[in-house]
Chains A and B, each alone.
Chain A
């Protein structure tokens, strides 16, 4: 009895450890399309997109755009992601898509480094590989669909915040995943651009809350407590952008501490309305999905990109940078309480 109890405890401890690493994944395929967009062998082209996680409005909006493109272009659009932003769970989904032998695999990697070998494996099996939303720079991907340059976003965030802060004062950044390459590249620009353009302003701290809004709220409050003269906060992703705004609202510091962030319009709307958030910097996410599906079709058909591409009526001039093998959606948008209602996601 004694021994078995100890053995049980060991099993228990082991399983708790395993739990920490396990993620539950949800699968759903979205497919639509006609017969026009066929590949070399006459079959309909299958473009599979694996988001960082499924179910958040950001990637759902990308999926909406992708589905729209699939309808217009006649390709098969597959959208499949994990419910947690977990590199391991994402890798599993990518591997299953490789088994399905899709024509084009598009990934927004949670961890670019661990994704790179999986992408190489896909390429070896004859699948075209792309990245979208987040790049895997040291991988075999054929093209990266970039929503905006790091400069565009970093400067957009900094300008929106510093306008409100009167070009001076202390602010802090609440970021999300510590390994997210795009978030880190934006933060690098924010630091450099703030130092160059706003010498009287200072970034006092950068903290990482994961994709957890409650933790972002708590950390933002910690930052306000730690720095009594803090007048600005940046929420670097779609969970920390509403998070920092909520923290300011709950701390009763609206008008004293200003926030901006990478937030989706509908989630930011209540905070934009009461001034706890000044602006959300984002791009047209549906168009990003549309462009991603279009680019997938292009590479599956073996076509190369022009310096300027006409993708659709809303995307008349999409730039291609051949040195970086990158398609650029355009300049980021500044979403405020005036224009927030134009977006339904």
Chain B
């Protein structure tokens, strides 16, 4: 157990984070420059309907990212969120279409189901001692199987607009014309940011990510904190599923496919270290916003669609590269 020897007091290794970390500031600058360029370059970017489309398009990713951030901060990962979203979506879609469930019940079922699946992930990760990517890769397939069984070889068509409050239409618009889904993401991110910054149990996630053995010696309930992170992710997946169903219509079998990669991209671009121990939900929100801006800008400018993938790839590599350089510098200090 080399961890015992290397156990270093949390404070000295990692002073309490500054309000805004370096990468977040860089992201704000990049997004601001991008928005400025697009506003000047096109007369269609800076319009209500376009900005609404951008933030709505990434709202579900951002909401799940709020849960994924603490998971990655504990040096874990949850690749099952896409399949999990599919399970919640098909259950809730069938519930409101076939049973006529009202919105509050639908949301309750969505978050309860998400929470339950998240708890399962958390339990398996914390009890098994296997790397989270393996565990959640397993549950990714299991959840997808469950979703497909519930789909029963048919996509769900004619889903009513019960959850339109979360959707991208007129009924989903809130204060200042901003979609409720994005308000939800911002409010939840603010709460999580405060929790991770000021609450002791929130700080424990960082300690676990830096060195789980040291964290355990310091009296942190590593297992319980780990389960909490995965359970919260499940809860947020439940909410995101409501956003994805939104104003209804069609829920396809491939719902949520690849969602995990989009969420992880937002978190990583947002400056959360894939090695654990560093990162904030504010960064994740900005990461999602950057991805959304890029995706929309490509279409607005009439560029080829596949350039979106290129730019997102480059941003991930830059973000991870910056993180590794910073990690190395910190270690040699």
Contacts and interface: CB of A to CB of B under 8 A. Distances in A.
B302 A226 contact: yes
- Among B134, B170, B299, chain A packs the most CB atoms within 10 A around the CB of B299
B253 A20 contact: no
A1 B154 contact: no
Interface string A13-52: 1011001100010101000000000000000000000000
B23 interface: no
Contacts of A227: 44
Nearest to B251: A213
B300 A1 contact: no
Contact of A24 (B77, B144, B296): B144
Interface in A39-96: 53-57, 60, 83-85
A222 B50 contact: yes
B141 interface: yes
Nearest to B48: A225
Nearest to B149: A26
Contacts of A56: 155, 252-253
A12 B155 contact: no
Contacts of A251: 49
B131 A228 contact: no
B308 to A, nearest CB: 10
Contact of B133 (A6, A12, A222): A12
A215 B137 CA distance: 24
Interface in B84-131: 131
A1 B157 contact: no
A213 B247 contact: no
B2 interface: yes
A143 B107 CA distance: 51
B201 interface: no
A55 to B, nearest CB: 4
Interface stretch (B26-34, B191-199, B222-230, B258-266): B258-266
A270 interface: yes
A217 B250 CA distance: 11
Interface string A222-258: 1111111000000000010010001001111000000
Interface stretch (A102-110, A204-212, A323-331): A204-212
Contacts of B3: 1
Contacts of A207: 299, 305
B146 to A, nearest CB: 12
B285 interface: no
Nearest to A85: B254
B211 interface: yes
A238 to B, nearest CB: 9
Nearest to A217: B168
B299 A266 contact: no
Given A225-B44, A266-B158, A267-B157, A250 B131 contact: no
B75 interface: yes
Contacts of B56: 218
Contacts of A269: 157-158
Given A9-B274, A83-B253, A250-B169, A57 B157 contact: yes
Given A19-B79, A55-B253, A225-B50, A60 B153 contact: yes
A16 B261 contact: yes
A219 interface: yes
Contact of B168 (A2, A24, A26, A250): A250
B95 to A, nearest CB: 18
A207 B306 CA distance: 9
B303 to A, nearest CB: 10
Contacts of B321: none
A84 B75 contact: no
Given A1-B213, A26-B148, A222-B296, A242 B261 contact: no
B177 interface: no
Interface in B263-319: 264, 274-276, 295-296, 299-300, 302, 305-306
Given A8-B131, A55-B151, A226 B299 contact: yes
A11 interface: yes
A9 B249 contact: no
Nearest to B295: A218
Contacts of B296: 218, 222, 225
Contacts of B79: 15-16, 19
B158 A270 contact: yes
A1 B211 contact: yes
A250 B170 contact: yes
A55 B75 CA distance: 37
B155 A24 contact: no
Given A9-B275, A178-B306, A225-B53, A246 B249 contact: yes
Nearest to B43: A228
A83 B254 contact: yes
Interface string B193-211: 0000000000000000001
A251 B173 CA distance: 11
B166 to A, nearest CB: 12
A221 interface: yes
B65 interface: no
B332 interface: no
A214 interface: yes
A298 B320 CA distance: 58
Interface string B240-254: 000010010110111
Interface of A: 1-2, 5-6, 8-9, 11-13, 15-16, 19-20, 24, 26, 28, 53-57, 60, 83-85, 178, 204-205, 207-209, 211-214, 217-219, 221-228, 239, 242, 246, 249-252, 266-267, 269-270
Closest 4 interchain pairs by CB? A222-B299, A250-B169, A225-B50, A55-B253
23 contacts: A2-B6, A5-B75, A5-B276, A11-B133, A19-B79, A19-B260, A24-B145, A28-B153, A55-B155, A83-B253, A213-B250, A214-B244, A218-B56, A218-B295, A219-B305, A222-B50, A222-B300, A225-B44, A225-B50, A250-B168, A250-B169, A252-B169, A267-B155
Given A1-B211, A6-B275, A212-B254, 4 more contacts: A16-B261, A55-B154, A57-B155, A242-B250
